[in-house]
Amino acid sequence: MIVSDSTALIVLFDLDSIALLENLFEVVYITPIVLEEISVKYPIVLPSFIKVRRLKDDTVFNSLQMLLDLGESEAIASAEEKNLSIIIDEKKGRRIAKGMGLRVIGLLGVVYLNAKKGFLTKGEAGAFMESAIAHGYRISRKMVEDVLREL
Give the burial string for 89-106 (b: 16+ CB within 10 Å, else e): bbeebbebbeeeebebbb
Q: How many helices (H) and strands (E) does the chain have?
A: 9, 5
Least-confidence region, from 12-21, 37-46, 71-80, 135-144 = 135-144
Nearest Cα to Cα of residue 21 among 126, 100, 140, 117: 117
Whether residue 141 is found in the same domain as residue 92 = no
Helix (H) or strand (E) holding 19: helix 19-22
Whether residue 64 is found in the same domain as residue 51 = yes
Whether residue 21 is found in the same domain as residue 80 = yes
β-bridge partners, 81: none
Among left, alpha and beta (phi > 0; psi -120 to 50; other), residue 115 is alpha
Average pLDDT over residues 7-19: 95
The yes-or-no verdict on residue 86 having pLDDT over 90 is: yes
Q: Which tens digits make up the pLDDT trace of 59-72?
A: 999 999 999 999 99
Whether residue 61 is found in the same domain as residue 122 = no
Whether residue 63 is found in the same domain as residue 18 = yes
Predicted local confidence at residue 123, as pLDDT:
94
Q: Which tens digits make up the pLDDT trace of 90-147?
A: 999 999 999 999 999 999 999 999 999 999 999 999 999 999 998 888 888 888 888 8
Number of domains in the chain: 2
Contact 51, 29 (CB under 8 A): yes
Whether residue 63 is found in the same domain as residue 14 = yes
Whether residue 83 is found in the same domain as residue 134 = no
Whether residue 90 is found in the same domain as residue 42 = yes
The domain that holds 44 is classified in CATH as 3.40.50.1010
**Residue finishing a domain among 86, 106, 126:** 106
Whether residue 101 is found in the same domain as residue 127 = no
Contact 41, 11 (CB under 8 A): no
For the residues of 24-74, what is the DSSP string, one character each? Answer: T-S-EEE-HHHHHHHTSSS-----TTEEE---S--HHHHHHTTTS-HHHHH
Whether residue 97 is found in the same domain as residue 24 = yes
Q: Which domain holds residue 131?
A: 108-150
